[in-house]
Structure 1
Amino acid sequence: MINVKGELFTTSVSFGAMAVLRLVSSMVLTRLLYPEAFGIMTMISSVVFVIEMMSDVGIVGLLIRHEKGDHPTYLNTMWTVRLMRSCSNGVLLFLAAPWVAEWYDTPALADALRLFSLWFLMFGLESVSFILAVRYKNTRVVNFTELFCLLVSTLFSIAYSYQSRDYHGILYGMLLNRFLNTLISYRFYPEHKHRLTLDKTATKDLFHFAKFVMPSSMITLAVSQYDKIIFLKLFDLKLLGLYSLASNLSAPLDGLVTKISRTLLYPRCAEYFREDPSTFLQRYYTENTKLHALLLVLPAALLGVATLVVDVLYDSRYAFAGVILQAFAVRSIILPFSSTAEDLLVASGRTHIQLIGNIIRLCYLVPAVFIGYHFFGFEGFIYFAMLEMLPTVLYYNWVQSQLGLILFRYEGLRLGFVIATAFLSFGAAELLRRLFL
């Protein structure tokens, strides 16, 4: 019998619904707006991500993992640090907006970035209730809140864009989404009252944790944005539009992997380790089989049906996005293997492993995209970029084998499952293409 209140069910349903909403939104908005509108929003998202990652100190990870993570003093200290950080980020974005607009030679970007600086302030004011929900394994609170906020903001964006026919509908929709999340966050765990607090012990613990998180986040920033920076130097705006479309189509899968890893698998893994370090490895694999399968079946299926999906949903101008989407699906397949390794290593106290892994990613990615471009053109650039996590996964697995933190039999089964699913989905896609297209 399905547990409708279970973490797996609520996460799957909410993410499935959000993926459908984003897909419908993409199909509608691409018919209402010009390509440049999506380019501006892509730039905004990229700049905001850069600032966010540059200031990441690992508050969420610490509150979930630390034995005092739900103590009022710790909660208030982390809330205060996050508020200070968010306000600083908002001011930075507001002041840097004209310079960023000049760098991209896009004057309209300046006002858009300054308006979007409000996003940081609203995020800083958000309650820590969503972090507590993850710690207490009550993730349906987070899942359904995000689904509701996305539904409202999507409807608003479509309605506004129908009237304005410019990027403001998407921009205001994103701000509305953040406002609703912040407002609703105070509905849960009201017993935790937020006060400005900077406890010495809690702050010390945070920055001890952050000494690995911050450099890791900086490298993650470089890795995640590197392809976009180089892209505009090598290819034209039309190809960037196709690249962005494929990225948006694959984003829900990557988001699902990240969401389940951070809110379900990692908290469980940390709990297993706290309860009994000698059995936590076996429990992590055997008690989460459904979650591991879910994280692999979707990107593997997408790999097989990518070109068909694009051909069905969009007109012939976007056909090449199907080839790009296949490359993104490859990255989405590698991501769960990386997340599994990180869960096990970080939960067992190896917090530095993410930093080393990200250094490996960066050392691979910088030369790889140019090598791929030189020998294979655009397709080489894309596929070499999408394989950027593979060397890190191999390193993680080596470390795990040295520490006895990997079950190769389960990893082999997962890999075989991916290959079988990809072949089956590709065969099904070709059959459907011949029958109906």
Structure 2
Amino acid sequence: MVSRQMLSQITWVAGSYGVSQGLRLFTNIVLARLLAPQLFGVMLIVNTLRTGIELLSDVGIGQNIVSNRKGDQPDFYNTAWTIQIIRGLLLFAIALLLAQPIAEFYDSKQLVEIIPIISVVFLLTGFQSPSRFILQKHQEVRKIALFDVFIAAVSAVVHIALALYSPTIWALVFGLIIATSISTTSSFFLIDFRVHRIKISHEHVRAIISFGKWVFASSVVFFLAMNFDRLYFAKEIPFAILGIYGIARTFSDMIGMLVQRVGAMLIFPKVAAFAKDRSELRPAVSGLRLKALLVTACGLSIVVALSDLVILVFYDDRYIAAAFMLPILMAGAWFSILSTMGESFMLGIGKSVHSAQANLAKLLWLVIAVPLALVYSGFVAALCVIAIADLFRYISLSFSQWKEGLSFLKQDVALLGLFAVLVMMWRYLFMQLGLVADFATWIEYGSIING
């Protein structure tokens, strides 16, 4: 019965994610036809900075609701909601103050106009209902899944309609604002329409801050580790190439985001609710973890082997360099998957400090290796450095899991070998079938980077 329930939950999580990402992919393809590559480059900077400002003030409000035994009680989630509103107001003010300095740093006059307008998103997300986290706590993934598909569909319609009306950067800016407005309004009807109220309980504030201090540290480092490449490339390469790279990263990030979603909605709550002795946790999940990763290895290996075909089929020649970038980035998603799974275990047992340490290891690798690779060996070397960055995150988490008696190192080494063999096997098969290009032609796809 438990396994059936788990299978049903995974189906809803993966299915809704697949539909949502399919809608986003369709939107991205249509927008790529309507808009110039440099617009995606500008928006990549805007979204990266917006995400950064959000994460740099993250105290784990959602994680608190999920992990705290009182998280679904009105006093607790109203206190969390109040903190979230205050945070949104502060982020809005910070974004307004930073607009001019950021525009000067990236030498883009457009950012002076875009950032103050996009900062409205902070106000909107600040008022979002915590009902999503309450559903997550009770593992009601079906409702969350349907909600996410609805928002993805709305976002697709809004962005495409605006791009048809005005094929400029403002279609992307106002598309984000309108979609976020609808998401915030709809969040109050996720469970049932309930009136939230401003509430500050000192007991709950202390609990949130106590749990959230390491979530905050982890979020800061996580943002920098996930986005250092974008922020660094924005200063070092043309916006057109940055936009193409952003498209390749969007595809490769989909895999990691799916596993992150499964980890946040299923693994983290289940580990947090595990009532038995921790020594029994590893044997209880080892078999299920192995089966999940075997399926993932088979599926991801096919995706990696075919990934450049997606760019060639759906995008025009302006984006052909992404066909070279995508297989490299997609292969590195394997380490992201292992790391995300390990991180969910650490959060589930209340050890959020390990997540911060792992992201710091990844960040240090990127800060040191990416500039050196770009300066001395070029963009391709920097791309490979980025692709293996999550390996250092995984190494750190593996050590932490070993200390906590939750090591799966032998299992992971065997799975890595299987994954590598499967990628080569599928690639060779698809080459023989004429579905993908040979190695020499694939290298030519990247010629635009230097051209």
Distance in 1 (alpha carbons) for counterparts of 2:86 and 2:227? 25
Shift of 1:409: 4.8
1:316 offset after TM fit, Å?
Answer: 3.2
- Residue 78 of structure 2 corresponds to 76
Unmatched segments (≥5 aa) in structure 1: none
Which residue number corresponds to residue 66 of structure 2? 64
The amino acid of 1:365's aligned partner reads L
The amino acid of 2:146's aligned partner reads F
Aligned 8 A contact 1:62 1:209 in 2: yes
Tell me how large the CA RMSD over aligned residues is. 2.5
2:51 match: 49
1:96-107 equivalence runs, <5 A: 96-107=98-109
The one-letter code sitting in structure 1 at the alignment partner of 2:281 is F
User: Residues of 1 paired with 2:270 and 2:420: CA distance?
Assistant: 27
Task: Give the aligned residue type for 1:311.
Answer: L
Which stretch of structure 1 is more off in the superposition, 372-381 or 20-29? Answer: 372-381
Deviation at 1:381, TM superposition (A): 0.6
CA drift at 1:132: 0.9
Distance 1:156 1:207 in 2: 37
**1:281 positional shift:** 1.7
* Pairing partner for 1:239 from 241, 258, 264: 241
Query: Which residue of structure 2 lines up, in the alignment, with residue 399 of structure 1?
Result: 400
Runs of 5+ consecutive residues of structure 2 not aligned to the other structure: 439-451
The answer on 1:327 being equivalent to 2:340 is no
Residue 413 and residue 240 in structure 1: after superposition, are their counterparts in 2 closer, same or farther (change >3 A)?
same
Deviation at 1:276, TM superposition (A): 4.1
Quote the residue 1:158 is aligned against: 160
Deviations 1:375-420 (A, max 9, x none): 5321111111222221221122123223321234533453244234
Q: Higher relative CO (CA 8 A, sep ≥ 6), structure 1 or 2?
A: 2
Q: Paired residue for 1:29? A: 31
Alignment of 1:361-400 (within 5 A): 361-400=362-401
Paired position in structure 2 for 1:301: 302
1:208 to 183, 207, 210: 210
CA distance 1:435–1:424, change in 2 (3 Å): closer
With over 3 angstroms needed to count, the CA separation of the structure-2 counterparts of 1:108 and 1:435, relative to structure 1, is closer
Question: Contact 2:308 / 2:436 at 8 angstroms: preserved in 1?
Answer: no
Q: Distance in 1 between matches of 2:295 and 2:43?
A: 30
Residues 124-174 of structure 1: CA deviation (Å, up to 9, x unaligned): 111111001111111221221111111122112112211211122222222
Structure 1 counterpart of 2:341: 340
Distance 1:2 1:281, change over 3 A: closer
Assess, with a 3 A threshold, how the Cα gap between structure 1 residues 145 and 284 changes in structure 2: closer, same or farther: same
Q: 1:203-255: per-residue Cα shift (whole Å, max 9, x none)? A: 11111112212222222222223212321343333321221121122232222
**Would you say 1:312 and 2:313 are equivalent positions?**
yes
Aligned residues: 436
Rounded to whole Å, the distance in 2 between the matches of 1:217 and 1:434 is 40
Q: Residue 284 in 1 paired to residue 285 in 2?
A: yes
SS at match of 2:434: helix
Distance, in Å, in 1 between the alignment partners of 2:322 and 2:50 is: 25
Query: Residue by residue, what CA displacement relative to the aligned partner does 1:161-189 show, whole Å, maximum 9, x if unpaired?
Result: 11211122222222222122212211133
The C-alpha deviation readout for 1:26-54, integer Å capped at 9, x for no partner, is: 22111111223212221210110111011
Distance 1:431 1:105 in 2: 47
Q: Deviations over 1:318-340 (max 9, x none)?
A: 22212211222133111111112
2:199 match: secondary structure: coil
- Mapped pair 1:353 → 2:354: yes
Selected match of 1:124 from 115, 126, 143: 126
* Higher mean C-alpha deviation, range 211-220 or range 307-316: 307-316
Q: Secondary structure at the match of 1:67?
A: coil
Aligned letter for 1:21? Answer: L
Q: Distance in 1 between matches of 2:436 and 2:380?
A: 29
Shifted more, 307-316 versus 115-124: the winner is: 307-316
TM-score by length of 1: 0.92
Could you tell me the percent identity over the aligned residues?
Answer: 24
Q: Is the 8 A contact 1:253 1:298 kept in 2?
A: no
Question: Does the CA contact (< 8 Å) of 2:252 and 2:329 recur in 1?
Answer: yes
The residue identity in structure 2 corresponding to 1:40 is V
